[in-house]
Amino acid sequence: VLAIWHQLIKTEIPELSKCSVLMRERGRVEETIYAMQRAGAGNLQVISDFDMTLTRFAHNGKRVPTTHNILDNRLLINEDCTKKMRELMNTYYPIEIDASRSVEEKLPLMVEWWTKVHELLIQQRIRKDMLSQAVKESSAMLRDGYKVFFDRLAENQVPLLIFSAGVGDVLEEVIRQNRVFHPNVHIISNYMDFDHTGILQAFKGQLIHTFNKREGALSHAACLRELQGRPNVLLLGDSLGDLTMADGVSEPQNILTIGFLNDQVEERKELYVNSFDIVLVKDETMDVPNAILGHIT
Ligand code: TMP
Ligand code: MG
């Protein structure tokens, strides 16, 4: 029976045979998809990272901006702030993705990066009413096939939790302008706190960076009622830190993790294959997640 099933899935999910798809245990992936299919859309939830997971890494050889980098617009911040944010990015991003350093070593450095950037942004007295224009003028771009992804989840009433260490207000504006901010979308992120005149004065709540998503997942679990009673999880991320985004799910049954490996490919390939169930190497599309969802919903 398994042999026939393997044959079946090979013909039904041809996307899994693309050479950009790496799997440690193809058999386990197939069995998990099969189990999720039997349980149906009513038992499924999708948890996804945002920057460089739902958004593209690059387009026409140019890096696509993260939510923080979308703020790099003269409507919002001055030249000096741009320069300082770039310097911080050049210092800390290589650390974030460094395969030779442990998460423990990276943790305090990520807190440092995010804290410094948020302080710089607060000094700029960013205006809430300018955010939407800055997103319009940016080259922010969701992955090819994003519309099928968001629309299918909405049609099937499958909750989508977007869990981002980026800036929540900017993230919301990106999905709103792409017309996919459907009612099934829930967001955990760093939200801006504006004073009564609409000027940025702080960031709300506990800071979320790339490697503390577990704490965020646990502290938000109770308030996300729509996600309860859905034990099957499709998780999408581009950082190893994203793997903890499902830690708040109570009594999970099947968790299938997909990792986008965008950068430092050779250095991180082995680590990613050992950590995610499916690794997508330099794949700027949602084709594989869409094919899997097409199978389950
Ligand atoms: P994510 O959780 O939605 O992927 O967002 C986190 C990403 O944001 C992370 O990969 C690093 C990136 N980032 C910037 O691009 N600029 C910044 O100033 C900061 C603090 C983070
Ligand atoms: Mg990311």
The CA distance from 47 to 162, in Å, is: 6
pLDDT at residue 259, rounded to an integer: 98
The CA distance from 283 to 40, in Å, is: 27
Active-site residue 195, yes or no?
no
Half-sphere exposure of 159 (CA within 13 A, CB side): 18
> What does pTM read for this prediction?
0.96
Q: How far is the CA of 92 from the centre of ligand 1 (A)?
A: 10
* Bridge partners, 185 (sequence order): 160
pLDDT at residue 8, rounded to an integer: 59
pLDDT at residue 7, rounded to an integer: 61
Residue nearest to atom 4 of ligand 1 (CA): 51
pLDDT at residue 14, rounded to an integer: 87
Q: Answer yes or no: are the C-beta atoms of 99 and 264 closer than 8 Å.
A: yes
Active-site residue 51, yes or no?
yes
Name, in order, each residue with C-beta under 8 angstroms of 6's C-beta and a sequence gap of 6 or more.
27, 30
Name, in order, each residue with C-beta under 8 angstroms of 234's C-beta and a sequence gap of 6 or more.
36, 44, 45, 46, 47, 256, 258, 289, 292, 293, 296
Q: For residue 70, which of 163, 161, 133, 164 has the smallest C-alpha distance?
A: 133
- Give ligand 1 pocket residues (Cβ under 6 A): 49-52, 66, 68-69, 85, 89, 96, 113-114, 117, 164-166, 210
In tens digits, what is the pLDDT along the chain, a chain of 297 residues? 677 766 655 557 888 999 999 999 999 999 999 999 999 999 999 999 999 999 999 999 999 999 999 999 999 999 999 999 999 999 999 999 999 999 999 999 999 999 999 999 999 999 999 999 999 999 999 999 999 999 999 999 999 999 999 999 999 999 999 999 999 999 999 999 999 999 999 999 999 999 999 999 999 988 888 899 999 999 999 999 999 999 999 999 999 999 999 999 999 999 999 999 999 999 999 999 999 999 999
The CA distance from 266 to 259, in Å, is: 15
Q: Answer yes or no: are the C-beta atoms of 167 and 206 closer than 8 Å.
A: no
Residue nearest to atom 11 of ligand 1 (CA): 93
Name, in order, each residue with C-beta under 8 angstroms of 293's C-beta and a sequence gap of 6 or more.
46, 149, 152, 153, 234
Q: Indicate if ipTM > 0.95.
A: yes
Residue nearest to atom 9 of ligand 1 (CA): 210
